[in-house]
A and B are shown apart, each in its own frame.
Chain A
Amino acid sequence: MIHNVRTHISQNEALLFERSSPGKRAYQLPELDVPPVDALAALGAGNVRAGIDGFPEVSEVEAIRHFTRLSTWNYAIDHGMYPLGSCTMKYNPRVNELVARIEGLAWAHPYQPEALAQGSMEVMARLEAMLAEITGMDAVTLQPSAGAHGELTGILLIRALLEKRGDPRKKILVPDSAHGTNPATAAIAGYAVENIKSTETGLLDVSALERIVDQDVAALMVTNPNTLGVFEENIARAAEILHAKGAMLYMDGANMNALVGIARPGDFGVDALHLNLHKTFSTPHGGGGPGAGPVAVKKALEPFLPVPRLKRSGKRWAWDYKRKRSIGRVRAFYGNFGVLVRALAYILAHGGPGLRNATVDAVMNAVYIRKRLEPYYDLPYGSPNMHEVVFSDARQAAHGVRTGDIAKRLIDYGFHPYTVSFPLIVHGALMIEPTETEGKAELDSFIDAMISIAKEAETDPQLVKNAPYNTRTSRVDEVSAARKPVLRWKGGEG
């Protein structure tokens, strides 16, 4: 029984270009208080364009209706549970939006004099210190723009340290359960990638690691808890093996929501890790970004952090650009400051005890889902899980229903799907991460929906395979989209 949703009016809406009509406008500029300039004379005849072909021309009312109608076609956390595994879709507190828009912060220019940017710098310094405490690391850079950017920064730091020791080495080890960004990052950083097969219990194979690690290995990139949501119990041993051979341990911090206040990467041998502020620290995903991917490191890597670094100069903060061993910049300016403000607001709201309580609730929610769904879905790995749980579609596949079908059917019940077909080590994976910001009622509703779908898969598999039914857009033909890409509006069609 579907009880979370029923249908309501959903307006159709054309593309802006189809709505346009010459002469319509949604703007008014102030009267120019200086003499106009002849563009042709100022810029040269060949440099001035005639017009912008096809650019929209709509009124203000049409503009706001357009985007409001579009918005109603989107599912969001504000609608309900969004249990995407590894994505940590938690509530985005609105006070964070408010403080990021305070004029003195939002309108701070990156090149305004340091004396007139002390507030921004203090915010960054405070966040650096708090993230260092949360991760148990010695130093933090806030510069990277997102998780994968943080990974790249972290691997470049490791490369720089090894280079200084005389040999940058040749390869990075990545478990087969890793996020796709890990191997892609290693390649961008100029390393060969060697995959390590997970053990039968889905964990890092420490004995394989012992065999593989040699003078060519620069680092192991590991996610902890891993993508099954399982804490890597031999992580400290892995660190020892790597360190004994002069290699480093890099941790993908995508799953830090399982650890904050409970365990710190710095205490179990990690040399560098990135955090996803848009996951663990609640900054909004916004349909795919912006994020922020600060990198926390141990002392040995600190001299190599990107420039500039914050430093205390008397009573003031200053930017230090003179750091000879730095890997250089990974982006312009200092980082996604607006995202950093939101993350700090989140940490301040929770405080130390609150952050730990959030972790407890996040893990409790995932364990609860596991307990309740275990009778209905195959659990390929039995180790205790933390903040997320991974089932497989093995039982439903017997009826021809796959994880992607179950996901689409879940939409009809009023939920966003879980992460489909990841991690790759689980065939037909259903990766579920509820986060701490779901209450018991919402969890129960989700669980009921999953149980109901499991039954549908047995009794009426076709029902599940053709879902969703209640959306304004039915199943989308992604194959044709890729075969004959139409990536912009060209007029005439649709």
Chain B
Amino acid sequence: MRYLPKSDSERRAMMDACGIDSPEALFAHLPAAARLGRALELPAGISEYEIVDYFRRRAAENANGYASFLGAGAYNHFRPVLVDAVASRGEFLTSYTPYQAEISQGVLTAIFEFQTMICQLTGMDVANASMYDGSTAVPEAAMMAARLTGKGKALVARSVHPEYREVLYTYAKNQGMPVEEFGYVPETGTLDLEDLERKIDGLTAAVIVQSPNFFGVVDQVKAAGEIAHRSGALLVLIFTEAVSLGILEPQAEADIVAGELQSFAISPSYGGPFAGIIATREKHVRQIPGRLVGQTTDSRGNRAFCLTLSTREQHIRRERATSNICTNQALIALMATVFMTVYGKQGLRELAEQNLAKAHYLAGKLKPRFAGGFFNEFAVRLQGKTPEEANKSLLKKKIVGGLPLGRFYPELSDSMLLCATEMSRRPDMDALSEILGLAAR
């Protein structure tokens, strides 16, 4: 087998050195009842060519050559070529978590730059070295808020990504953390602040909001923050579309920012792997979950970086750790770092402006359902056709339409969520609006 480097004569020499005469002797100490008395029922190994062919066939069974207007937590942005050129380097690809700082300065330096850039984008003081994804960052942020406030309840806006909320419930249930939802204003799609005022109380640890929210609307984060802080709760701000950070003002009211970086050159890849982040204020750093890279010096006095504040983590603190997380998303964070470097200060702004322009061009032809200002996503209400029926007609034109919202919001079953990015071509947007226009109000 091509992944096993030993020749038979080398194996024999090694067995001789071990004092055994057959490979079976290596397993002789296993209890017979525990042994698998047969071969695995798996096919024989195949060649590289056959592997590529197999996956090409599977890829052909997916959508190919369609224009897509799906967003909702996974966005269609161009991936600069440099991203894979860097991430494919074996030095990055095939290294482990950088525990041995002396021979891991490459990834440590890149993560330090990553943490810095996330702080610059979010306006926070510290950012961790990444989380599994945006959705799992939400319960981690809620648990962090609970530790910081000594309170136990979470209030989450219904305009937070529905699947992120589902993940929060799964974690919260077993943490004994009550979670309550508050609504959105049906006309604007922004937070129902009165509902928040009604539901918040002295037991609330975290108020969790998203901006741009699930409907694409830039939300009233400041007002939510003021309400949260009046009750002694922390404001957790979620983002799913990181490109919006290139144009939106960082929210000074946020105590914890938790987000998803998929937009930064991470291919949608049917939902993963992505990379999440948690960023926060300096004073909260001892409660942040996940890996952190810090600056220090080596014994010759040169600047160096290493993993730090690990007394928060599971391998030291075990059951008293801030989180059970061990793996981060270093390679994905590296891709995001290269993306941020390629676009840089000016480019990320221009990219965000193009997204804004494309989405508003499309929205100009289809009246958005909500009046709130939006970035690159918006909801439309259809008439005479359900979103599912409209999508069927679009597929015939090789267009994947928007996400039908009824699946997550029964009251919006007549609406779909559309997304346009710098990758959306004008002719496709025209074709989409022509077909939807017949059905949109």
Contact = CB atoms under 8 A, between A and B. Distances in A.
B113 A289 contact: no
Interface string B1-18: 111111000110111011
A180 B314 contact: yes
A457 B45 CA distance: 46
B346 A338 contact: no
A52 interface: yes
Interface string A60-96: 1001101110111111111100101001011111010
Interface in A462-494: 466, 468, 471-478, 480-482, 485-489, 493-494
A310 interface: no
Contacts of A365: 14
A200 interface: no
A287 B92 contact: yes
Nearest to A358: B4
Contacts of A97: 88, 93
A130 interface: yes
A262 B35 CA distance: 6
Contact of A348 (B45, B60, B64): B45
A112 B59 CA distance: 13
A235 B167 contact: no
Interface residues on A, range: 35 or more
Contacts of B170: 156, 306, 327-330
Interface in A111-136: 111-113, 116-120, 122-123, 130, 133-134, 136
A231 B35 CA distance: 11
Nearest to B292: A487
B248 A331 contact: no
Contacts, number: 674
Interface residues on B, range: 35 or more
Contact of B267 (A292, A338, A422, A437): A338
B349 interface: yes
Interface in B233-249: 246-249
A13 to B, nearest CB: 8
A16 interface: yes
Nearest to A438: B5
A317 to B, nearest CB: 10
B360 A37 contact: yes
Given A98-B52, A331-B136, A36 B353 contact: yes
A27 B352 CA distance: 14
A106 interface: yes
Interface string A439-468: 110100000000000000000000000101
B167 A439 contact: no
Given A289-B329, A482-B308, A488-B112, A109 B76 contact: yes
Contacts of A20: 344-345
Contacts of A262: 27, 30, 35-36
A122 B61 contact: yes
A226 B301 CA distance: 41
Given A54-B116, A289-B330, 15 more contacts: A51-B349, A52-B246, A56-B117, A70-B105, A77-B95, A79-B91, A84-B96, A184-B319, A286-B94, A287-B97, A338-B267, A437-B3, A437-B5, A475-B298, A478-B306
